[in-house]
Structure 1
Amino acid sequence: MKDLTRGSIVGHILQMSPPIMAGMISIMICQLVDLYFVSGLGDAAVAGVAAAGNAGFLVNGLLQVLGVGTVALMAHAVGRKDRGDANLVFNQSVTLSVLFGLLTLVAGTALSRPYMRSVAADQATIEAGTTYLLWFMPALALEFVMQVTASALRATGIVRPAMLVRVLAVVINIALAPVLISGWGTGYALGIAGAGLASSIAVGIGTLMLLGYFRKVERYVAFNPAQWRPQPRHLMRILNVGLPAGGEFAMMFMFMAVVYYVLSDFGAAAQAGFGIGQRVLGLIHMPALAVALAAGPIAGQNVGAGNGTRVRDTFVKTALITTAVMIAFMIPAQLKPELLLAGFSNDQETMAIAYLFLRIISLNMVAQGLIFTCSSMFQGLGNTRPVLLSSATRVFTYSLPAIWLSTRPGFRIEYVWYLSIAATTLQAVLSLWLLRREFSKRLGVPKAKSAEQASSGPIAREPA
């Protein structure tokens, strides 16, 4: 266990964010690998996999429920030095992970085709997306167990093991994708089904590796079958924190679904170009998101320890770092988007749309970094309802004008991206205001305290 209530805040962030970023980038690379290898199957295949990937936002919402609830409550318990409560929260989260995984398998099997019919531009895209989803669904179900285990480690300040497992899973996926999709070395190509199957196998192996590490090495919390029986009061503790955060991903799903809807009139190439650009944008968002996620357990442990001044300092320093990182990545996205998007499709129309998307939408990267920071701080405070409110505001301020404009003569694809910039900026402003209000309610008036006192004590080292 790593004590985040002492030591340099910036030092903790810089130690924790690289492994977090590596783990997240590995997940994104898995998705990009699928897009890369199916690109040879045509625009319908790329558009289908990209649109199917948007369904992952719903599953990510459930993952967020578990992850945020586990990290927040466990971090508070660690800050209070209450090991018993930390163990109880963890084991109740394990129970939820099994339930959510089973729900994902059942719902995914039943709803894959209806979902694709609602967003796809043509029948070929519907078939491609449905096939990919059905084979990818086991990976999504297994992610729940991996999420709970990794979240328990992150709440105690340990992030490296989950990162290493994620990276190994990516290596396995990269090795399997061309074999299963294109039939390299076997002569038996599964096509789009192979993309989903490669991801499912990789995640399955990664889950087994992380569970093995947790059982053999982790000592602060442990699997305890006696605590797996659902206890409504403690399940509600997790859900009260996690559900609003999961609702944020549901809002993102709605946002993306509207984008695909208004792009449907522009054809499969437009949807494919957006899908490629969105995946790459998500990849370059990862460093700032990793910094923000590192701040969550720092804030959470200090909330549990009753150190309000250190919680405020965590926000200020995290916001400064995420802003600097976003500016650094915005520059190449503005000047040379083709370098970031090279190799994903040979279709000129698809790539022209992807270039346009990335150049315009990267203008909101600073605002997005502030949103990441505020969201993580709300998680650390244990109140994620304001996150849901700000996300809902973004969805409605974007969706209604976008749908209306799409029905007007002369509607252009650029309008989709410009509306997104305006909605994201509004969300950032609202998030900052809501966080300031939450600080006043939860932390009170900040006490005068020197920087030396606020950051005193040695930095605990993370075990290898």
Structure 2
Amino acid sequence: MKDLSQGSIVSHIAVMAPQIFVGMILMMLCGLIDLYFVAGLGDAAIAGVGAAGNVGFLINALTQILSVGAVSLISQAVGRKDRADANLIFNQSLGLSAAGALFTMVAGCMLARSYMRSVAVDEAVIEAGTTYLVWFVPALALQFVALVMGSALRGTGIVRPTVIVQAVTVIINMLLAPILISGWGTGLALGVAGAGLASTIAVAIGVAMMWIYFHRYEHYVAINSALWRPQLEQWKRILGIGLPAGGEFAIIFLNMAVIYFALRHFGAAAQAGFSIGSRLLGLIHMPGISIALAAGAIAGQNFGAGNGERVRRTFKTVLLLVTAVMIGFTMIAQWRPEFFLGGFTEDAATIAVGALFLRMVSLNNVAQGVNFVCSSMFQGLGNTRPVLLSSGARLLTNTLPLIWLSAMPGFRIEHAWYLSIATTTLQAGLSLWLLRLEFRKRLGPVLQ
């Protein structure tokens, strides 16, 4: 356990954020690896795997319910020096993760084709996406357990073991992807099914490694099957914080699904360009998200310790850091986005769509950074309902107009990106206002 209620805030961020960043980059690479090796199968395969991969946002919504609830409550318990409560929350979260994994397996296999038919009209895209999902769903199910264990460690100020396991997972995925997708060395090419299977095997090995780590090395929070029996009061605490945060990711899923829906009549190349571009933009966001996630654990421990002024200083420090980072990466995204897309496809139409997306939507980066920081601070304070409110506001102001615009005769792809810029900026303003209200309510007036 690492006490984040003492010492330099910047130093804590400097230690935690790079490790979180590496871990997130490694997770993002899994999706990019799939797209990279699937790209040789054509635009239909790229579009299918990209649209199917969007289901990951929906599963992330469910995993975040447990992950956010765990990291918030555990970090606050650490701040209070209440080890027993930290252990109880961790083990109750593990029990809930098993139920989430089972639900994902059943629902994913039953609804894969129905989902693909809702976001694509090309039969080749539908078939590729459905096949990929069937083999990828077990990996999504295992994420419940993996994220709960990683969140428990982050709540105690420890992130290195999670990063090491994620690195091993990505390496395994990188090795297996070309073998299973293209049949390198075996002559047995599984195509998009191989992409899903490679991820599933890699994640399964990662979960096994985390399980071994907790049994052998972790002592502050430990796996204790006697604490797995459902305790409704603890479930209420976890879900009370986690459900609104999970709703935020569900909204991301809905936003992405509506964009795929709006682009469906522009063909597989347009959906493929958006698939690649959105993943590259996610990669660009990773440094800012990493800093924000580190801030959540710091704010949680200090809030638990009753140090409200230090929570405020954490917010100000992190907001400045994230804004500076986002400005820098916006400049990178504006510089020849075609260069980055060229590594995934040679199709001119696909590159054109992806480049337009990166050049325009990267203008959101600073506003999106504000949203990341506010979301993490709400998690540290143990109240994520305002996050759901601001995300819901964006859902209404973005998706409904986009559905209407996509039905208009003169609809162009860039109309979707203009709308995204406007609604993300509005969300950032609302998030700042809601956080200011939360600070006044939970931390008291600003000290003069």
- What is the distance in 2 between the residues matched to 1:217 and 1:307? 31
Alignment partner, residue 394 of structure 1: 394
Alignment partner, residue 258 of structure 1: 258
Alignment partner, residue 203 of structure 1: 203
Alignment partner, residue 157 of structure 2: 157
Contact 2:4 2:12 in 1 (8 A): yes
- What is the distance in 1 between the residues matched to 2:289 and 2:121? 32
Contact 1:397 1:423 in 2 (8 A): yes
Per-residue deviation at 1:343?
1.1
Specify the SS of the correspondent of 1:311: helix
Per-residue deviation at 1:339?
2.6
Alignment partner, residue 147 of structure 1: 147
- What is the distance in 2 between the residues matched to 1:146 and 1:409? 46
Question: What number of residue pairs does the alignment pair up?
Answer: 448
Alignment partner, residue 437 of structure 1: 437
Alignment partner, residue 344 of structure 2: 344
Alignment partner, residue 179 of structure 2: 179
Partner amino acid, structure 1, of 2:259? V
- What is the distance in 2 between the residues matched to 1:284 and 1:216? 36
Contact 1:19 1:160 in 2 (8 A): yes
Per-residue deviation at 1:43?
0.7
Alignment partner, residue 119 of structure 1: 119
Alignment partner, residue 461 of structure 1: none
Alignment partner, residue 50 of structure 1: 50
Partner amino acid, structure 1, of 2:91? N
Q: TM-score, normalised by structure 1?
A: 0.96
Alignment partner, residue 69 of structure 2: 69
Per-residue deviation at 1:447?
3.0
Partner amino acid, structure 2, of 1:26? L
Alignment partner, residue 462 of structure 1: none
Partner amino acid, structure 2, of 1:49? V
Contact 2:76 2:300 in 1 (8 A): yes
Contact 1:245 1:388 in 2 (8 A): yes
1:95 and 2:87 equivalent?
A: no
Alignment partner, residue 319 of structure 1: 319
Partner amino acid, structure 2, of 1:208? A
Give CA deviations for 1:182-216 in whole Å, capped at 9, x if unaligned.
00000000000000000000001111111111211
Give CA deviations for 1:206-260 in whole Å, capped at 9, x if unaligned.
1111111121111101111111000000011000000000000111111111101
Contact 1:23 1:166 in 2 (8 A): yes
Give CA deviations for 1:3-47 in whole Å, capped at 9, x if unaligned.
000000011011000110111111110000000101111111000
1:240 and 2:240 equivalent?
A: yes
Per-residue deviation at 1:405?
1.3
Per-residue deviation at 1:446?
2.8
Alignment partner, residue 416 of structure 2: 416
Alignment partner, residue 135 of structure 1: 135
Partner amino acid, structure 1, of 2:73? L
Partner amino acid, structure 1, of 2:220? Y
Contact 1:333 1:340 in 2 (8 A): no
Contact 2:67 2:151 in 1 (8 A): yes
Give CA deviations for 1:276-329 in whole Å, capped at 9, x if unaligned.
000000011000000000000100001100000000000000000000100111
Alignment partner, residue 452 of structure 1: none
Give CA deviations for 1:254-283 in whole Å, capped at 9, x if unaligned.
111110111011111100000000000001
Contact 1:121 1:268 in 2 (8 A): no
Specify the SS of the correspondent of 1:408: coil
Partner amino acid, structure 2, of 1:176? L
- What is the distance in 2 between the residues matched to 1:446 and 1:163? 37
- What is the distance in 2 between the residues matched to 1:210 and 1:120? 37
Alignment partner, residue 215 of structure 1: 215
Aligned pairs for 1:267-346 (under 5 A) are 267-346=267-346
1:404 and 2:404 equivalent?
A: yes
Partner amino acid, structure 1, of 2:55? A
1:27 and 2:24 equivalent?
A: no
- What is the distance in 2 between the residues matched to 1:407 and 1:342? 31
- What is the distance in 1 between the residues matched to 2:161 and 2:339? 32
Contact 1:37 1:178 in 2 (8 A): yes
> Which deviates more from structure 2 when the two are superposed, residues 397-406 or residues 321-330?
397-406
- What is the distance in 1 between the residues matched to 2:150 and 2:333? 31
Contact 2:338 2:352 in 1 (8 A): no
- What is the distance in 2 between the residues matched to 1:199 and 1:242? 26
Contact 1:58 1:253 in 2 (8 A): yes
- What is the distance in 1 between the residues matched to 2:241 and 2:326? 28
- What is the distance in 2 between the residues matched to 1:172 and 1:159? 20
Specify the SS of the correspondent of 2:108: helix
- What is the distance in 1 between the residues matched to 2:230 and 2:9? 36
Contact 1:66 1:96 in 2 (8 A): yes
Contact 2:386 2:434 in 1 (8 A): yes
Contact 1:308 1:446 in 2 (8 A): no
Specify the SS of the correspondent of 1:425: helix
Per-residue deviation at 1:338?
2.0
- What is the distance in 1 between the residues matched to 2:392 and 2:176? 39
Specify the SS of the correspondent of 1:81: coil
Alignment partner, residue 13 of structure 1: 13
Contact 2:76 2:303 in 1 (8 A): yes
Partner amino acid, structure 2, of 1:227? L
Partner amino acid, structure 1, of 2:158? I
Alignment partner, residue 41 of structure 1: 41
Contact 2:102 2:141 in 1 (8 A): yes
Alignment partner, residue 191 of structure 2: 191
Unaligned stretches of 5+ residues in structure 1:
449-464
Alignment partner, residue 3 of structure 1: 3
- What is the distance in 1 between the residues matched to 2:332 and 2:292? 22
Specify the SS of the correspondent of 2:54: helix
Q: TM-score, normalised by structure 2?
A: 0.99
Partner amino acid, structure 2, of 1:424? T
Per-residue deviation at 1:401?
1.3
Contact 2:18 2:290 in 1 (8 A): yes
- What is the distance in 1 between the residues matched to 2:392 and 2:338? 32
